[in-house]
């Protein structure tokens, strides 16, 4: 380790150790560097107190690895879903998120709703309607199909809903 620090940039080693979630190694690298312990000790000690998946999520957020952060927070349970949904919205991770949550589940529906809202903001009405259909927001889907000019889908969905 002593020689590796002279061969490789300390910040690169520090980030590499964080990426593998090895906090003992992070502390060792930081101690051998010119880093101020006030910078890294509270951060690492705070991480150690967290549940493992949430710990990994926090590290990934620190490293701006948002797709990996999403995978980790998705494993944390429903008490973290709001934070998960905010991550999805903030970093446009809708496609990644839809793969992580089971189709038909409540979280999947909420992600579809959020994705539909995002698509509507970008005037992607047809795609938004599909997401709304998946999340069982049929009236919104009819509206979006109308905005898209897709009268066939509008009428088929209206017929299915007995309008």
User: What are the pLDDT digits (tens) for 138-155?
Assistant: 999 999 999 999 999 999
User: What are the pLDDT digits (tens) for 43-83?
Assistant: 999 999 999 999 999 999 999 999 999 999 999 999 999 99
pTM here?
A: 0.89
pLDDT of 34 reads 78
Task: Please give the Cα distance from 35 to 9 (Å, whole number).
Answer: 12
DSSP characters over 26-46: HHHHHHHSS--HHHHHHHHHH
DSSP characters over 69-131: HHHHHHTS-GGGHHHHHHHHHHTT-HHHHHHHS-TTSHHHHHHHHHHHHHHHHTT-HHHHHHH
Task: Please give the Cα distance from 120 to 118 (Å, whole number).
Answer: 5
Is residue 1 over pLDDT 70? Answer: no
Please give the average per-residue pLDDT across 116-140, as a whole number.
Answer: 97
Write down the residue that tokens 């957020």 correspond to: 61
Which CA distances in Å does 6 have to 55, 119, 141? 30, 49, 60
Task: Please give the Cα distance from 133 to 141 (Å, whole number).
Answer: 6
Could you tell me how far CA 120 lies from the centroid of its own chain? 20
């Amino acid at each position: 380790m002593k020689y590796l620090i002279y061969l490789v940039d300390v910040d690169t080693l520090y980030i590499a150790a964080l990426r593998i979630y090895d906090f003992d190694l992070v502390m060792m690298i930081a101690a051998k560097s010119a880093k101020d312990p006030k910078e890294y000790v509270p951060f690492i000690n705070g991480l150690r107190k967290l549940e493992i998946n949430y710990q990994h999520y926090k590290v990934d957020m620190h490293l701006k690895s948002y797709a990996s952060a999403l995978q980790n927070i998705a494993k944390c349970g429903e008490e973290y879903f709001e934070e998960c949904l905010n991550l999805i919205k903030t970093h446009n991770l809708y496609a990644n998120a839809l793969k992580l949550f089971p189709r038909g589940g409540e979280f999947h529906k909420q992600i579809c709703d959020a994705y539909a809202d995002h698509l509507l903001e970008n005037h992607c009405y047809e795609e938004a309607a599909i997401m709304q259909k998946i999340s069982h927001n049929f009236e919104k889907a009819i509206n979006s199909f109308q905005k898209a000019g897709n009268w066939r889908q509008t009428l088929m969905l209206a017929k299915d809903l007995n309008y």
